[in-house]
Amino acid sequence: MQQVQIQTIMTLQTPFVFAAANQLKQVFINVLKNAIESMPNGGNVYVSVENTEDTVVVRIQDEGPGIRQEWLNRLGEPFYTTKEKGTGLGLMVSYNIVKDHNGEIRVSSSPTTGTCIEIVLPTAHNSHVPETTMLSEPSS
């Protein structure tokens, strides 16, 4: 409907992360929704997954107009939004979920290349998580 194509680049061997699957699903939905909404005239969203020795990095890059540099540091604050009809809660919740999983969200943006969100999570062998979390299922 938005004329947006999602392009994926995945490694063959992505390690496990300890995670509450529904919570991380919410993070990815929030970030992808923001990327799609940033391009009302269509474009591409690139989703890649790569791993280092201790982390898994999910990178979501859009081709939108980017976010002003002075707004970047405020992303994730409660009720702070750059959208006309946004609440500012989606990214705040996403930042908190990732932080609760001992990860971090990194954001970079440029008017010429769009916005890139990196969701960095520790691999299962490097995690210190509460017993109540579960091992996420690998994608097929």
Q: What is the pTM of this model?
A: 0.80
Please check whether residue 19 is in contact with residue 121, taking contact to mean a CB–CB distance below 8 angstroms. yes
DSSP helix/strand/coil, 23: helix
pLDDT at 102: 94
List the domain boundaries for the chain. Answer: 4-124
CA 58 to chain centroid: 7
In this prediction, the residues of the chain whose per-residue pLDDT falls under 70 are 1, 12, 74, 76-88, 125-140
Closest to 38 measured CA to CA, from 66, 78, 16, 15: 66
Q: What is the CATH number of domain 4-124?
A: 3.30.565.10
For 42-63, write each residue's pLDDT tens digit: 999 999 999 888 899 999 999 9
Q: What is the DSSP string of 54-111?
A: SEEEEEEEE-S----HHHHTTTTSTT--SSTT--SHHHHHHHHHHHHTT-EEEEEEET
Q: Find the farthest-apart pair of alpha carbons in the chain and give their distance in angstroms, rounded.
A: 45
pLDDT of residue 79: 60
